[in-house]
Amino acid sequence: MATGNEKEKYNFKSFLEEYHVVIPMVQRDYAQGRTTDDVNRVRNRFLDAIKSYLVESEDDNQAMKMDFIYGELEKIIVTPLDGQQRLTTLYLLHWYAAKKGGIEECRYKFLNNFTYDIRPSSRDFCAHLIQYAPDWSLPLQEQLIDQNWFMCEWHNDPTVIGMLVMLDAINDKFGDIANLWEILTETERIVFYFLPLSENGLSDELYIKMNSRGKKLTAFEHFKAEYENLYERDFDEARTVNHKFDVEWADTFFPYRNQYDVVDNEFMKYFFYISHILCYEQDIEKSNDEFELIKLIYSESPDAVANRKYLEDAFDCWYRVLTDYKSIDAFFEKYLSGFAYEKGKVATFKRVGEYRGTQNFFHACVKLYQVNSNFSYSDFLFLYGIITYLMNKDAIKEDDFIDRLRTLRNLIWNSNSGEIRGDAHYMKDLLCQVKDLILTGCINKDLKYKFNGIQIEEEEDKKKKRHEIDIETIHRFEDHPLIYGYASGLGYAHLDLVDAFLSLFSGTPDFVKIHRALLAIGDYTQNDSNRYYMGNQNRATWSQLLHKSRNRSNFEEKTMSVLRILLQRIKDGENLDSIINKFLSEKEETRTFDWRYYFVKYPDMLRGADGELIWDESNDYICTTLNKHQFNGQHWNPFLNVIFRILSDKLLDRDGKKIIGLGNYGENLNILKPISSLEATGTGFRYYYHETCETWDVYQENSIDKEDRIAFAIEKIKNIVQENIDA
């Protein structure tokens, strides 16, 4: 790259005296004259900034450095590839100053060295404009449109219309400056630097990437112009940052461009993401306004300089990834896997957002941040951990990074929505905990808001015993999607059962059969007061059962104890069917039909339920299965539910219509609708027929059924239905 010496610095007059500027056809239309709210705001701020330097500064060294103009240079012809908007505004400002000040034509003839080739209409308008002498008693836009040389079709040229809007804005801002021309042309209050692409080692491909920011003057361009103003008094820094925006960072984001080859939104989403990290860390109110963030974080904050460095490092680190790993996808593929264990990687148990088949959290961030919940607070923290590593890569060994990232995965995935929250005070502490973990390998427990305490204890215990246990077996176990990091439940002394677990719960497990086999071995339920939890057909239910909770009892005493017995029997050669059948045979031989028998015998005992039951503490046969946690949702008596499922399609009237039914809110079983119904009790059933009630008790010893109450009820119902049909 060329160096920043004075010969490269120009004001607009000196630039046009040395070069002829031609805005090419492939460039975008002039955008600073648009009338959207965003552009109005940018235009006013830009003109205010120019005016402040022209009027308030008495020292030519206090110059407004308007960044760099990139372009192709052929002899004296400059074709701008970046900087067209600024050059056009300066052109209009100098035209205005010349005409308003009554300057002789020979003094402003250099303006003829600025032409537009975007459209013939733009070029012709500029040619007529340079010859026109305005009437200062009328609005510029109005009188220009009224000229006989102003073609009707020019109303459809956004560049021409934009210039008219800008001229009115310039008149409003600068109409009170008497010596505007002299200040503009005889001082260096407004300057910029020209960097020819070919002389600075830049390829034509840069144009494509620089202009992947699209034809619209977007939020990113607003941000870029405002952000670069922060470096207006530091040429070297300004030049470095500008180059990064247009080269390194353009390379970084170009793979994530949209269908129009535009990456503005992706730039801005990542800017917001990094800025919000700083907001959380520094107790700055989070804003979704990029200009407000620049002001609060990167300009007025006591840590503004450090914050700018952090932001730029957060962009730089992904460019280094491109260099070191050839692509950002390749980086994530090296360290992360999806739903299965891969040695040397960390399973995330998800496909990130809408990008199926990839673990690229950066990709998800630049597409989804602030769009929807597909980029969650958990993803926010996980990506922050990765960025922290990338920004401190030289100080962290690769193996340590993988271990720490695994620990972070375990902490995040085992913390609930009450522990990972978007509240600023929560996120501040959680970000601190992530940073400490990635940088030091230690979990900071002195914070008010932390990841799940049970998981923190596990990670510390695992670290202490690392050299005593088979760590790779633990990794295989905790990378199972039902476990996602909580490995201690099985017990480090029982790692020999991991293969049996992985085999049992691989692919698409028969969860209901596993549940029945566990109950055949023993009561494996957990409970919270009178609410009991057991497995069903839902994967999420099993995941909850396999994770210790401070709200539920009997995780170790029942669930894991019974599971270990089941796994040992599987390891010893038994299968689920043999375990279930052996249990049922023993129960039927001894005619001991306790509550476990019914849940093992009849899978539909849990039909429709979410694995949660309310049990009467006084009687094992009085319980209710819940579809959801709330009792006011759908719920059933499981015995009636089974009877209904068995008989629903078998008992029909003469017209082939069903004659039994069961509601979804704890109702009795309807028989011969609506003549009779059946209610479940602790000792059997009550049968209601019209206004009569008949007790159907089963024979019990020591409050245990000695006959199958479901088979008993089915037989009686069949007889009643047959009698009514025959009548």
Residues 244/250, Cβ–Cβ less than 8 Å:
no
Contact between 472 and 343 under an 8 Å Cβ cutoff? The reply is yes
The pTM (predicted TM-score) of the whole model is 0.75
Find the helix or strand (DSSP H, E) in which 697 lies: strand 692-697
Among candidates 683, 687, 680, 674, which has minimal Cα distance to 717? 687
Instruction: Output the 3-class SS for 324-343.
Output: HHCCHHHHHHHHEECCCCCC
Question: Which burial class, exposed, middle or buried, applies to 369 when counting CB atoms under 10 A from its CB (0-12, 13-18, 19+)?
Answer: buried
- Phi, psi values for residue 430, rounded to 5°: -65, -40
Indicate the SS3 state at residue 555. helix
Instruction: Quote the pLDDT of residue 1.
Output: 34
Q: Residue 119 is encoded by which pair of tokens?
A: 């459209």
Q: Which residues of the chain have pLDDT under 50?
A: 1-7, 203, 206-210, 212-217, 353, 356
The candidate with the shortest Cα–Cα distance to 588, out of 597, 579, 578, 599, is 597
What number of other Cβ atoms are within 10 A of residue 491's Cβ?
13
pLDDT at 464: 94
Sequence-separated (6 or more) residues with CB below 8 Å from residue 454: 414, 486, 548, 549, 550
Q: What is the DSSP string of 50-110?
A: HHHHHHH---TTS-EEEEEEEEEEETTEEEEEE-HHHHHHHHHHHHHHHHHTT--HHHHGG
Tokens of 306: 């450090």
Identity (one letter) of the amino acid at 73? L
Backbone angles phi, psi at 198, to 5 degrees: -65, -30
**Angle CA(124)–CA(125)–CA(128) in degrees, nearest 5?**
85
Distance from C-alpha of 405 to C-alpha of 407, rounded to nearest angstrom = 5
- Give 340-354 pLDDT, tens digit per residue: 899 999 999 876 545
Q: Is 533 helix (H, G, I), strand (E, B) or coil?
A: strand
Instruction: Produce one character per residue of 85-105: b if its CB has 16 or more CB atoms within 10 Å, e if not.
Output: bbbbbbbbbbbbbbbbbebee
- Nearest-angstrom CA–CA distance, 526 and 533: 5
CA 643 vs. chain centroid, Å, equals 46
Nearest to 475 by CA among 352, 337, 330: 337
Is 81 in contact with 206 (CB distance < 8 Å)? yes
How remote is the C-alpha of 531 from its chain's centroid? 35
Q: How many CA atoms lie within 13 A of 475 on its CB side?
A: 19
Helices (H), ranges, 505-591: 511-521, 539-545, 561-571, 576-590
Q: Which amino acid is at 23?
A: I
Beta bridge partners of 593: 705
Strands 336-337 and 346-347: parallel
Report which residue type is found at 614.
I
Q: What gap in Å lies between CA 447 and CA 425, rounded to an integer? A: 11
Structure tokens at 85: 């908007």
Answer whether 44's CB lies under 8 Å from 52's CB.
no
CA–CA separation, 9 vs 67, rounded Å?
10
| Number of CB atoms found within 10 A of residue 207's CB | 21
Contacts of residue 467, Cβ cutoff 8 Å, sequence gap at least 6: none
Distance, in Å, from the CA atom of 581 to the CA atom of 583, rounded to the nearest integer, reads 5
Contact 709, 685 (CB under 8 A): yes
pLDDT value at position 630? 67
Q: How far is CA 152 from CA 125, 158, 624, 718, in A?
A: 12, 13, 79, 89
Beta carbons within 8 Å of 388's beta carbon, 6+ residues apart: 434, 435, 438, 439
Token pair, residue 58, equals: 């008495």
C-alpha count within 13 angstroms, C-beta hemisphere, residue 505: 26
